[in-house]
Amino acid sequence: MMRLPRFQYYTPRDMTEATQILADEGSDAMVIAGGTDLIPNMKRKQQTPKTLVALRHIESLGQIKNGSDLSLGAGLTLSDLVQNDKVKAEYTGLWQAAIQVATPHLRNMGTLGGNICLDTRCSYYDQNAEWRKAIDYCMKKDGEICWVSTGSKRCLATSSTDTAPALISLGAKVRLSSAKDEREVLLLDLYQDDGMDYLLRRPGEIVAEVILPQAAHWRSTYWKLRRRGSFDFPVLSVAAAAALTPDGSIEQARIVLGAVSSQPLVCEKVDEFLAGKKLTDEVIEEASLLCGKAARPVKNTDFAPAWRKRAIVRIATYALRELRGDNMSEQRRSIARHVF
């Protein structure tokens, strides 16, 4: 049986208290929201904080504010998002991403903030402590070498959050709070392509809020491939969002790939290619091939990298067809069974 190590547990009631505890405790402390990722990681000794600061009693983190933008508290559970009619109707890609995370039980506990800050994943890392000890660990925790690419100077673990690609495609910002100050950044700018240091979060910062711009004229969609169709982390995903003119031309598009790099991968070339065009079959084919070219999956998750690279083209085609308004329910079912 894997047991949790001992740790101190704080239950602040507001953000001032929470950020102050984090500032006082320093780098030995981590925040915990739903705990659905952090607790298993602590049992496997991948993450070893001496202090946990729980966010679940902070009321402001559970709020939704619907003004000119839509503001989602980072403490909302994924089930809260799935049950929200506005999210479903106007930010469909986010809704589709949230409903495909894990299982209903985990979505009842797992939060938006926890999903955004989710640890990166790798087949050599997502193992118990004994397994990892047997291979002398790896660079991400306790070791020196990267087993995915022994010559690599950095960890290549994969960003596996479902909601981040969808949120980035929708132009989301995040508000970060610390004991010192508050700042707002594009969610995209929270990530960097490094499997160990994947978040550009300053020490002591808590993600307080996710802010989505108005969705007028925008359509969005999220497609995910995973080993088990019922529930699993993504091995690749495509988030696509576009602002359309009344005649169906694309004013602006944002295509973001998930689980093929240590950060959500923005496909700028595809966005440029799509601007001003209508989603004809030919345009969709060309754009999907460009998505395949952009992604460079490595051998650190389920399915061979070459197969995942080919599969991206197909999944991107499905995403763009759904954006166009095609009924893709059959393809969604076939993906769950992996019929390619």
Residues lying near ligand FAD in the complex (CB under 6 A): 30-38, 40, 55, 74, 78, 101-102, 106, 109-111, 113-115, 117-119, 160-162, 206-207, 231-233
- Least distance to ligand SF4 from the beta carbon of 127, Å? 10
Residue 218 interaction partner, one of ligand FAD, ligand SF4, none, beta carbon < 5-8 Å per kind: none
- Least distance to ligand FAD from the beta carbon of 274, Å? 26
Count of Cβ atoms closer than 10 Å to residue 214 Cβ: 12
Dist. CA 69–CA 62, nearest whole Å: 17
- Least distance to ligand SF4 from the beta carbon of 260, Å? 13
The reply to whether 233 sits near ligand SF4 by the rule CB under 6 A is no
Dihedral angle, C-alpha 138, 143, 149, 154, nearest 10 °:
110
Residue for token pair 């003119």: 245
Strand positions, DSSP E, 100-214: 173-177, 182-186, 206-212
CA of 271: how far to CAs of 133, 204, 227, 267, 287, in Å? 44, 35, 29, 6, 9
Kind of pairing between the strands at 218-225 and 236-244 = antiparallel
Q: Which of 33, 42, 52, 155 binds ligand SF4 (CB under 6 A)?
A: 155
- Least distance to ligand SF4 from the beta carbon of 122, Å? 3
Q: Which of residues 31-90 bind ligand SF4 (CB under 6 A)?
A: none
CB closer to ligand SF4 out of 107 and 140:
140
The reply to whether 297 sits near ligand SF4 by the rule CB under 6 A is no
Helix axis angle for 281-294 and 305-324, nearest 10°, is 150
Kind of pairing between the strands at 8-10 and 64-66 = unpaired
Residue nearest ligand FAD by beta-carbon distance: 114
- Least distance to ligand SF4 from the beta carbon of 141, Å? 8
Site string for ligand SF4, 190-209 (x = CB under 6 A): -----x--------------
Dist. CA 292–CA 269, nearest whole Å: 11
- Least distance to ligand SF4 from the beta carbon of 99, Å? 28
Q: Report the residue count for the chain.
A: 340
Residue for token pair 């689980």: 259
CA of 49: how far to CAs of 8, 113, 114, 128, 158, in Å? 9, 18, 16, 17, 22
Residue 37 interaction partner, one of ligand FAD, ligand SF4, none, beta carbon < 5-8 Å per kind: ligand FAD
CB closer to ligand FAD out of 308 and 321:
308
Q: Which of residues 87-146 bind ligand SF4 (CB under 6 A)?
A: 122, 124-125, 138-140, 146
Residue numbers of the site for ligand SF4 (CB under 6 A)? Answer: 122, 124-125, 138-140, 146-148, 155-157, 195, 300
